[in-house]
Amino acid sequence: MFSKVLVANRGAIARRVIRACSELGIASVAVYSEADAGAPYLAEASEAHALAGNTANETYLNRSALLGVLQASGADALHPGYGFLAEKEDFARSVIAAGATFIGPDPKWLGAMGDKIAARKLMADAAFPVFAGSEHLEDLDQALVAAGTLGYPLMLKPSAGGGGIGMRVVRDEEELRKSFALTRKMAMAAFADAGVYLESWLDAPRHVEFQLLGDNEGRVVHVHERDCSIQRRHQKIIEESPAPGLERTEVEEIAKSAAETAQRLGYNNVGTLETLRDNSGDYGFLEMNTRIQVEHGVTEAVTGLDLVAEQIRLASGAPLPEIPELHGHALEARVYAEDPETHMPSTGVLQRFCYPVLEGVRVETGYCEGQAVTPYYDPLLAKVIGWGVTREQAIGRVLVGLRAFSVLGVKTNIPLLTRVLQDGEFLHGHVHTGFLQDF
């Protein structure tokens, strides 16, 4: 087991990793930007190191600065969290070259799954279902030919993308012509890669993902599924497990296939295989996230596993844990600092930031009262996770948790979240990725 872990991230995930290290008896090293100097987890870590600057490029994306802290602290492992450098192959290799362990899969998987086109081909070659799509598109003429073959409507996506950035639905040739250059520009700005491709557009699909765990001996298991269909701008805001309204035999069959495919390919450590499910019940590979997910707490709530601790254990060479059966139901609602009507980020000082301590409710946050919410990073404030014996009880607990959340100084999306959780269609489990547009 490791003696000291550098947590190369911020916010809720940094605090979560620090807690897991503490419970494993491992020293933790936090890093922080000037904007995050008041974060509560800095005092919870064994030590904290400042990163000069505020912007992501100056701090949490600054490879040389992070590697400098790795060396100065004497940490023998680095946990990247999610976002920032978590899925950057070159950074993972730099950590290993510096003599430390990168807590994640073999770096080759970050590269293989980071290119969405290559990942689709890899999964298709491994006989996992993949919906129709194009190869890498170099120019508009090539895109028009591909679209003519695939048939509209289509989704135009960055090949190095994530978080829904740059994705556009194109319903005809005119929309493709208008969107192609803009999507490439957005892809370059967000991912330093202008690569794009086309994928079949599905009408009102379900977004169902499968949590995978792999050890270093070639064994991979699944830890059930999460339904992440409630999204705005292709970004998840409510996740739950098990997936409502789906037959367990159906879900377990695709979960087993996901684990078996990952095992044949040789995947190791924690990963999430994401799929879309169309209205006929067919599943197709969407992407593979080679890191811990924002919504990992949902799976923890219904299994009792500590996925972050398991991620650290697996990286140290430990065997797979026993996988428990699903127990009850869990939901997560993501609380963002944003205007609930316009969805635009809201910044300011948290004059009041009081979250509930309730039975069956868990709150994950990297903020505290008096701290500033700045424009430099993702506006995620907290995650409210509710567990119940039934789905109805879990929803009720999340609702109570959200209503008991008191925030002053910034606007939040709590009003939107509570409206969704009380909506009749949602309560009946009639969820899909276009739910919020209809809502």
Q: Which residues are catalytic?
A: 291
Binning the chain into helix, strand and coil, the percentages to the nearest 5 are 35, 25, 40
**Are the C-beta atoms of 56 and 34 separated by less than 8 Å?**
no
Torsion angle of the four alpha carbons 162, 163, 164, 166, in this order, in degrees rounded to the nearest 10: -60
Nearest to 302 by CA among 326, 280, 271: 326
Distances (CA, A) of 81 to 94, 112, 130: 16, 19, 28
Partners of 198 in the β-ladder: 156
Side chain identity at residue 95, one-letter code: V
Question: Tokens standing for 53?
Answer: 């600057």
DSSP 14-58: HHHHHHHHHHHT-EEEEEE-GGGTT-THHHHSSEEEE-SSSSTTT
DSSP 290-318: -S--TTHHHHHHHH---HHHHHHHHHTTP
Q: At what angle do helices 63-73 and 89-97 cross, to 10 degrees?
A: 30
Nearest to 28 by CA among 232, 308, 267: 308
Side chain identity at residue 253, one-letter code: E
Side chain identity at residue 65, one-letter code: A
Question: Tokens standing for 376?
Answer: 């430099």
Check whether the bond before 244 is cis (ω within 30° of 0).
no
Class of residue 45 by CB neighbours under 10 A (exposed 0-12, middle 13-18, buried 19+): buried
Nearest to 334 by CA among 393, 378, 300: 378
- The DSSP H or E segment spanning 258 is helix 248-265
